[in-house]
């Protein structure tokens, strides 16, 4: 288990559960009732629920006897993954910051990009391969200002959540989402 997550669980069990979960944030709530750990909320994917349960069950025998997940749900998705893709573009002061943002989004966005790149002024020729033509000029203007771009091509069902992370979680200088396109295979 990641050290940050283990530390968070330690704080929860010590009664200092004021911080949101390092990965799932405020989408979940944890309450210790005697020797019972009660988890509630809603997660995006069954894999997220399974991971959270694994984390919680690792605490059984360490002051916890039981884990109650009766109020922990997995969101019912109406969209079908794999049909449409979107390209998200965010600008940052430099390539190192864009790379940190990439790592943050991949960890917290719970999405697997179909394509990803960090592009600086020297790589501006790549933009034509990475973006629809109508977005290339705006992206080049950002590069001309000395900024670096993080470009992610992701499933359209994940786009809203990942864009919110880019806007709010990384404090990008500029963020756009291209219109959805039919998903490419591979």
Residues 51-105 pLDDT 10s: 999 999 999 988 899 999 999 998 876 667 778 999 999 999 999 999 999 998 8
Does the pTM surpass 0.75? The reply is no
149 CB contacts (<8 Å, ≥6 apart)?
A: 89, 90, 91, 92, 98, 117, 118, 119, 120, 139, 142, 143
Q: How far apart are CA 26 and CA 180, in angstroms?
A: 28
Task: Extract the tokens encoding 17.
Answer: 């559960």
Looking at residue 56, the DSSP 8-state letter turns out to be H
Q: How far apart are CA 177 and CA 135, in angstroms?
A: 10
Q: Which helix or strand (DSSP H or E) is residue 48 part of?
A: helix 46-57
pLDDT of residue 77: 67
pLDDT tens figures, 12-45? 888 887 788 888 888 899 988 888 999 999 987 8
Among 78-82, 110-114, 154-158, the minimum mean pLDDT is found in 78-82
């Amino acid at each position: 288990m990641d050290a940050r997550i283990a530390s968070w669980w330690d704080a929860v069990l010590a009664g200092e559960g004021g911080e949101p979960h390092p990965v799932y944030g405020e989408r979940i709530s944890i309450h210790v009732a005697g020797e019972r750990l009660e988890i509630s909320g809603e997660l995006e994917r069954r894999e997220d629920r399974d991971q959270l349960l694994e984390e919680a069950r690792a605490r059984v025998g360490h002051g916890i006897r039981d884990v109650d997940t009766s109020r922990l749900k997995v969101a019912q998705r109406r969209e079908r993954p794999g049909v449409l893709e979107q390209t998200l573009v965010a600008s940052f002061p430099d390539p190192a910051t864009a790379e940190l943002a990439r790592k943050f989004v991949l960890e917290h966005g719970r999405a697997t990009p179909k394509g990803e790149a960090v592009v600086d002024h020297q790589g501006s020729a790549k933009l034509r391969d990475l973006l629809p033509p109508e977005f290339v000029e705006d992206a080049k203007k950002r590069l001309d200002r000395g900024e670096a771009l993080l470009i992610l091509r992701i499933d359209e069902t994940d786009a809203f959540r990942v864009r919110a992370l880019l806007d709010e979680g990384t404090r990008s200088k500029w963020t756009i989402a291209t219109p959805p396109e039919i998903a490419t295979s591979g």
